[in-house]
């Protein structure tokens, strides 16, 4: 079995929802999520990751507290007014239809300036080469590749929906009538109905036919047709596979980097603009006085209400040291202008460290993501609590979407004296791997791990390793059940990366995580779903404190110490 090294569990993406939380500092690299080239994987021309837990929201930083923010991955990112109105008229708890999900995904894609620039920079010849390259990779490496018929069907469905969206028209600089759009849709349906697709050559023949229909009816660029054939093929596979276009001079990733340029505030969409979840500590936003609950209504005098996050992307862009003006409303009062200077922001993965019961020595650490800096941050946090008299630890992974695999392994190693951590199994030998505990010195304190339905990927690896090795107790609710491995393939034909599901991952005892997740040892009902809950009223924390006082937890820690 191959040992897992320098691999990545990306925190998105798509875990990134209809209410999207994203760090302003990450906006400039929204489509670079979860890509961090390093070590041998980079030299081999690819990076293996455990992707963010979903279809949720292009999960660069994604929601950590409110389940509400995960309901539908793109419905509040739509730039098309009709699509937005259609989704808003549903009851809040209704499950969106499959067509609504596809519509939202396409609207999000074409409202991105990155997509528009990518299309303009890609010739039809390059787009065709990209299609061939992508299909070859899918055929060779995807865990369960779909048929070419399914791939083409999804591509045609995408185009039939896309033609109704204003973001699609704007990105492709098109100006066609509704009757032309309907003719395009009808002609596509008739064209595909009479044809079977058995292989790549058949698919390319269909692509040419679709391009001819597009040119004749709405003057659709053939590059866009080829790109939707790629997107359609990838989207027919599973909800984690995706294509991530790149821009010249852009970094591979900032989502898991601890230092980026921005103003440093976490937000979600709001009917009046953007709702501040919290400013990042020591960030320009915090220094300017922004607080949780503030509503940003405009950026540089551009109104945000009704616009997508991609609209905010371009507004927030700017070099380090430059100024921008936010209009901010607090407690439903009249907005006031706040001037903020863009700066380099350190994004901490450990967001909270404190003693929650000083008398009994119960420490608490909240980890938001498994980032490159998390190992050092955890060491700092653990020693801080130790100096304050920590006798047991509550480790909070609620809402944590994942991150770097190497970090998940190293953090597991801090608490496991021996035993397995994670293994993966795929179609190819290169996708089969295993990892075991190796540290000579570990923390032996009693350990409680908090998880919920938004704990995914690396969070599940850590929690399962602790649970299967009987090192501590898991408290909360069943985790997300991500369970699949994605590999990033840098493309040769175009600037971008194809992310494909290539394997499943398993707990030390051989449990398949995909669709199953981690079931807590102590279940806590979430009666205030979607609300902000102060720690003093947090039922998970209340239960964790009880568990730290239990004989069972003490015995698990004692037994672990004796195994060395």
Determine the 3-state secondary structure of 222 from DSSP.
helix
Asked if residue 509 and residue 438 are part of one domain, the reply reads: yes
Residues 6+ apart with CB under 8 A from 359: none
- Would you place residue 267 in the very low, low, confident or very high pLDDT band (cuts 50, 70, 90)? confident
Residue 403 and residue 494 share a domain: yes
Please, which pLDDT band fits residue 282 given cuts at 50, 70 and 90? Answer: confident
Give the per-residue pLDDT at 530.
Answer: 53
Segment 172-177 mean pLDDT: 94
How many residues make up the chain in this entry? 564
Indicate the pLDDT class of residue 396, thresholds 50, 70 and 90.
very high
CATH number, domain of 315, equals 2.30.42.10
**411, two tokens:** 């953090």
What's the predicted TM-score (pTM) here? 0.73
pLDDT of residue 528: 61
In this predicted structure, what is the pLDDT of residue 188?
95
- 448 and 326 in a common domain: no
* Percentage of the residues of the chain whose pLDDT score is greater than 70: 78
The mean pLDDT of 147-160, rounded to a whole number, is: 97
**Do residues 305 and 427 both lie within one domain?**
no
- What is the rounded CA–CA span in Å between residue 145 and residue 233? 9
- Tell me the mean pLDDT in the region 366-393: 96
Single residue among 346, 369, 385 that ends a domain in this structure:
346
Q: End-to-end alpha-carbon separation of the chain, Å?
A: 25
Residues 480 and 529 both lie in one domain? yes
pLDDT on residue 128: 97
Decide if 132 is inside a domain. no
Using one digit for the tens of pLDDT, what is the confidence trace for 425-441?
Answer: 999 888 898 999 998 88
Residue 274 belongs to a domain: yes
Mean pLDDT of the chain: 80
Which residues on neighbouring strands pair with residue 267, listed in sequence order?
A: 22, 276
Domain identity same for 469 and 522: yes
Give the C-alpha separation, 224 to 207, whole Å: 11
pLDDT of residue 323: 92
- What pLDDT is recorded for position 533? 65
Written as six digits, the tokens of 358 are 């000083």
Same domain, 363 and 342: no
For residue 64, is it within any domain?
Answer: no
Find the Cα–Cα–Cα–Cα dihedral 73, 77, 81, 85, rounded to 10°: 40
Q: Is residue 201 part of a domain?
A: no
Residues forming the active site: 457, 468, 482
Q: Do residues 311 and 450 both lie within one domain?
A: no
Residue after which a domain boundary falls, among 323, 346, 369: 346
Write down the H helix ranges in 194-245. 200-218, 222-235
Q: Tell me if 259 sits within 8 A of 129, measured CB to CB.
A: no
Q: How confident is the model at residue 562 (pLDDT cuts 50, 70, 90)?
A: low
Contact 427, 141 (CB under 8 A): yes
Q: Are residues 286 and 383 in the same domain?
A: no
Angle between helices 222-235 and 113-121 (to 10 degrees): 120
Is residue 448 located within the same domain as residue 558?
A: yes
Boundary residue ending a domain (326, 346, 366):
346
CA-nearest of 64, 71, 67 to 100 is 71
Q: How confident is the model at residue 554 (pLDDT cuts 50, 70, 90)?
A: confident
Position 20 scores a pLDDT of: 35
Average pLDDT over every residue of 217-234: 97
Q: Specify the higher pLDDT residue, 255 or 148.
A: 148
* Total of domains in the chain: 2
pLDDT in tens, 82-105: 333 233 333 344 678 888 999 999
CATH code assigned at 359: 3.90.226.10
What domain range includes position 411?
Answer: 350-562
Domain assignment present for 320: yes
**Counting Cβ atoms within 10 Å, is residue 331 exposed (0-12), middle (13-18) or buried (19+)?**
exposed
* pLDDT exceeds 90 at position 419: yes
Task: Please give the pLDDT value at position 254.
Answer: 39
Residues 6 or more apart from 506 whose CB is under 8 A from it?
422, 423, 424, 425, 512, 513
Q: With the C-alpha atoms ordered 409, 414, 415, 416, is the resulting torsion angle positive or negative? A: positive
Task: Give the pLDDT confidence score for residue 315 in this predicted structure.
Answer: 79
Q: Is residue 247 part of a domain?
A: no
pLDDT band at 262 (very low <50, low <70, confident <90, very high): confident
Q: What is the rounded CA–CA span in Å between residue 548 and residue 553?
A: 6
Check the CA dihedral 344-285-459-239 and report its sign.
negative
Q: Please, are residues 142 and 241 in contact by the beta-carbon 8 Å criterion?
A: yes
Together in a domain, 327 and 357:
no
Helix (H) or strand (E) holding 363: strand 362-367
Least confident of 66-70, 235-239, 527-531: 66-70
For the residues 330-349, what does the mean pLDDT come to?
A: 90
Q: Looking at the domain assignment, is residue 479 inside a domain?
A: yes
Low-confidence winner among 30-44, 257-271, 484-498 (lowest mean pLDDT): 30-44
Residues 370 and 391 in one domain: yes
Judged by DSSP in three states, 397 sits in: coil
Q: Is 477 inside any structural domain?
A: yes
d(C-alpha 306, C-alpha 308), whole Å:
7
Q: Which residue has the higher pLDDT, 215 or 24?
A: 215
With bands split at pLDDT 50, 70 and 90, how would you rate the model's confidence at 247?
Answer: low
């Amino acid at each position: 079995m191959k040992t897992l090294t320098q691999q990545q569990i990306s925190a998105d993406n798509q875990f990134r929802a209809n209410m999207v939380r994203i760090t302003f500092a990450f906006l400039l690299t929204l489509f670079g999520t979860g890509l961090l080239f390093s070590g041998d994987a980079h030299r081999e021309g690819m990076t293996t990751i455990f992707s963010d837990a979903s279809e949720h929201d292009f999960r660069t930083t994604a929601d950590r507290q409110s389940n509400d923010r995960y309901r539908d991955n793109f419905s509040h990112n739509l730039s098309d007014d009709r699509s937005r109105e259609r989704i808003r008229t549903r009851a809040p708890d209704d499950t969106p239809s499959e067509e609504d999900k596809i519509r939202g995904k396409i609207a999000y894609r074409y409202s991105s300036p990155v997509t528009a620039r990518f299309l303009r920079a890609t010739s039809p010849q390059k787009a065709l080469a990209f299609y061939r390259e992508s299909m070859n990779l899918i055929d060779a490496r995807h865990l369960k590749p779909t048929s070419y018929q399914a791939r083409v069907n999804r591509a045609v469905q995408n185009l039939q929906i896309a033609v109704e969206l204003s973001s699609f028209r704007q990105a492709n600089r098109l100006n066609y009538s509704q009757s032309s759009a309907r003719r395009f849709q009808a002609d596509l349906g008739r064209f595909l109905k009479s044809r079977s697709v058995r292989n790549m050559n058949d698919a390319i023949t269909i692509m040419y036919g679709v391009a001819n229909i597009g040119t004749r009816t709405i003057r659709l660029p053939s590059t866009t047709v080829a790109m939707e054939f790629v997107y359609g093929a990838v989207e027919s596979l599973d909800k984690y596979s995706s294509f991530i276009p790149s821009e010249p001079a852009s970094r591979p990733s900032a989502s898991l980097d601890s230092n980026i340029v921005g103003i440093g505030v976490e937000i979600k969409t709001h009917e009046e603009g953007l709702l501040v979840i919290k400013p990042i500590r020591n960030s320009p936003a915090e220094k300017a006085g922004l607080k949780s609950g503030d509503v940003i209504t405009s950026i540089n005098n551009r109104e945000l209400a009704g616009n997508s996050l991609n609209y905010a992307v371009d507004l927030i862009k700017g070099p380090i040291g430059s100024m921008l003006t936010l209009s901010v409303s607090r407690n439903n009062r009249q907005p006031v202008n706040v001037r903020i200077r863009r700066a380099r922001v350190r994004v901490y993965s450990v967001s909270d460290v404190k003693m929650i019961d000083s008398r009994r020595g119960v420490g608490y650490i909240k980890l938001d993501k498994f980032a490159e800096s998390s190992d050092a941050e955890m060491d700092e946090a653990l020693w801080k609590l130790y100096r304050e008299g920590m006798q047991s630890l509550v480790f909070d992974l609620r809402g944590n979407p994942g991150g770097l695999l190497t970090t998940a392994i190293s953090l597991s190693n801090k608490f496991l004296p021996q035993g397995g951590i994670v293994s993966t199994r795929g179609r190819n030998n290169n996708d089969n791997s295993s990892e075991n505990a190796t540290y000579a010195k570990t923390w032996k304190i009693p350990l409680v791990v908090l998880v919920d339905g938004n704990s995914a990927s690396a969070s599940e690896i850590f929690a399962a390793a602790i649970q299967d090795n009987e090192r501590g107790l898991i408290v909360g609710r069943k985790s997300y059940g991500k369970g699949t491995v994605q590999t990033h393939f840098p493309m040769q034909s175009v600037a971008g990366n194809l992310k494909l599901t290539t394997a499943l991952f398993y707990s030390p005892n051989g449990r398949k995580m995909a669709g199953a997740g981690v079931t807590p040892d102590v279940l806590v009902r979430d009666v205030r779903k979607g609300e902000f809950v102060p720690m003093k009223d947090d039922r998970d924390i209340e239960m964790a404190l009880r568990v730290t006082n239990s004989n069972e937890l003490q015995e698990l820690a004692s037994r672990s110490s004796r195994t060395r």
